[in-house]
Amino acid sequence: MLLTQGSSTVDDMTDHDHGKGQAGHGNAGHGNAGHWLPDGMNDLLELDAEVLHGYWTAALDWVRDAAAPLSPARLLDLGAGTGTGALGLAERFPAATVTAVDVEHDALERLRGKAKERGLADRVHAVEADLDATWPDLGPLDLTWASMSLHHLADPGAALREALAITRPGGLIAVAEFPEPLRFLPDDLGTGLPGFEDRVLGPVNAAHVEVMPTLGSAWAPRLAEAGWNVTAERAFPIDLDRPAHPDAGRYAQLWFARLSHGFADRIEPGDRATLAALLDERGPHSLLHRADLHIRGTRIVTLARRD
């Protein structure tokens, strides 16, 4: 089985906050956190949807089942990127319209292209807007999906309050985030110094948290603080050992390319050399062709209601 799942209600939620972020403020280093995106992010998002298809299906099905009693007619994908969530929800709610909002023009162009290909262009509307600024008119809403986008915002608390204000009583929000970055590699790469991924992820993740202070934090308390009634939270473990998907290597390649994007100076020289070898597409250690990839991690979806 490629994907295993665990489930919990709000009553038995564990605390996923690793103390990395503070709610609702701060943009250390790069000005607006939302505009810090590594090169190739849109490709990475599309590969995420492909390679982690099992996760996406399970998460969106779970949200569909929770929202079905509402018969939601108006949906928002907040920070929609290339549209995996917006399109997946439009398919699951065939009578609904979905507004997909993002600040990135190119991501929305990809989303529009896919909506057209999948016959959804009349129900999925892409809106280019900065959700850290004044929001366009998006309400009233029945269901909002916010996947891996809130931690990019300068003030996610303000965005959660704004979403609440334009949601109908009884309407829902589903926030998908992750407590830790995904892992891709075995501990021992045969370099003579095991633990490469642990060593590089520490400082690189710390650098990301400087730019995006809410990255890896717990979202249930943030939702509650913004006035939402948190009703459930579910962890979706991802465990793809030697993934069969033909693009798994390319996904790993792009993921590690992020590590060298602006933060290579935080990595020890020996590990920098290992990273370069992993990223060398024609070399013997290339991530594109490795037989030992093991993609693992957890995505957490938190569901909350406007009472």
Ligand X SMILES: C[S@@+](CC[C@H](N)C(=O)[O-])C[C@H]1O[C@@H](n2cnc3c(N)ncnc32)[C@H](O)[C@@H]1O
C-alpha span between 188 and 10 (Å, rounded): 38
Selected from 16, 21, 24, 34, the binder of ligand X by CB under 6 A is 34
| DSSP designation for 180 | S
Give, as ranges, the residues between 138 and 177 that touch ligand X (CB under 6 A). 147-149, 152-153
C-alpha span between 236 and 297 (Å, rounded): 9
Q: Would you say 93 or 196 has its CB closer to ligand X?
A: 93
Q: Would you say 153 or 293 has its CB closer to ligand X?
A: 153
How big, in percent rounded to 5, are the helix, strand and coil portions of the chain? Answer: 40, 20, 40
**Beta strands at 229-241 and 8-9: parallel, antiparallel or unpaired:** antiparallel
Smallest gap from Cβ 76 to ligand X, in A, equals: 11
CB atoms within 10 A of CB 137: 7
Question: Do the Cβ atoms of 74 and 82 come closer than 8 Å?
Answer: no
Smallest gap from Cβ 46 to ligand X, in A, equals: 8
Smallest gap from Cβ 264 to ligand X, in A, equals: 21
Q: Would you say 149 or 260 has its CB closer to ligand X?
A: 149
- 233 touches ligand X by CB under 6 A: no
C-alpha span between 119 and 114 (Å, rounded): 8
Length of the chain: 307
Selected from 20, 59, 102, 299, the binder of ligand X by CB under 6 A is 102
- 59 touches ligand X by CB under 6 A: no
Q: Would you say 104 or 271 has its CB closer to ligand X?
A: 104
- 84 touches ligand X by CB under 6 A: yes
C-alpha span between 125 and 138 (Å, rounded): 11
Question: Do the Cβ atoms of 223 and 230 come closer than 8 Å?
Answer: yes
Selected from 13, 45, 238, 300, the binder of ligand X by CB under 6 A is 45
Count of residues touching ligand X (by CB under 6 A): 20
Chain residues in the site for ligand X (CB under 6 A): 34, 37, 45, 79-81, 84-85, 102-104, 107, 130-132, 147-149, 152-153
